[in-house]
A and B are shown apart, each in its own frame.
Chain A
């Protein structure tokens, strides 16, 4: 059964450093998403991506964040200058229509 995959599973970085989180969505899906979950809190929407452009973003998704689909299979989330409060689990998801399928997540720790 096709799955969303994410790499790395864990990443530790210093405050102010750039990080890139990678995702491979399910192959025939057209919509791609990033969500995050701070420990003990709700899953929160960051951004959705369709047809090679951002279709929607939340108030969390400020200028420090960017997304890219550099080739036919990968979907990336870049955080330019990490802050302590960016520490969270980051989930990639993809969908054909309404139902979104999530990856296993990347645990990001900013020190």
Chain B
């Protein structure tokens, strides 16, 4: 069963057109929710860790938020260099470090 579902699968944005990516999760006892950026043929690049509902983290044009059932990655005024696949992953109870990833949100920002 899928623990992490990301939507939309793919998104095309005009430069400057803000949008949000969704990550829904179904794991109990969430220890952490992670956002990564992945460029084609490269490894996941860490962006944010969120631990509890209501938490928000921000970096440049990206802002991540967390509720008890989902997380959002808001992209404000995106630039072409924000084009990438954004991966959401969850980490379950204590003593279990594995990350369970979603399929990703593929974002293309058109100049």
Mask of A89-106 contacts with B, CB within 8 angstroms, 1/0:
101000100111111110
Report the separation of the CA atoms of residues A90 and B42 in the bound assembly, to the nearest whole angstrom: 10
Which residues from chain B contact A65 at a C-beta distance below 8 Å? none
User: Which of B12-20, B60-68, B93-101 has 4 or more CB atoms under 8 Å from chain A?
Assistant: B93-101
Q: Which of A89, A98, A100 has the most CB of B within 10 A?
A: A100
Does more than half of chain A's interface fall in helix, strand or loop, or is it mixed? Answer: strand
Q: Which residues of B contact A107 (CB under 8 A)?
A: 41
Chain A interface residue count, CB cutoff 8 Å, equals 25
Q: Assess whether A104 is in contact with B43, with CB atoms less than 8 Å apart.
A: yes
**Which residues of A from 58 to 111 have beta carbons under 8 Å from B?**
58, 89, 91, 95, 98-105, 107
**Residues in B whose Cβ lies below 8 Å from that of A48:** 97-98
Residue in contact with B99 in the complex, picked from A41, A100, A104, CB distance below 8 Å: A100
Are B43 and A99 neighbours in the complex by a CB distance under 8 Å?
no
- Residue pairs across A and B with Cβ atoms less than 8 A apart, 26 shown, are A4-B43, A31-B97, A33-B98, A41-B103, A42-B101, A42-B102, A42-B103, A42-B104, A43-B44, A45-B98, A45-B100, A56-B96, A56-B97, A58-B98, A89-B41, A91-B44, A98-B31, A98-B32, A98-B49, A98-B91, A99-B49, A100-B97, A101-B46, A102-B45, A103-B43, A105-B42
Q: Which 6 pairs of residues, A with B, have the shortest CB-CB distance?
A: A102-B43, A45-B98, A43-B101, A102-B44, A98-B32, A104-B43
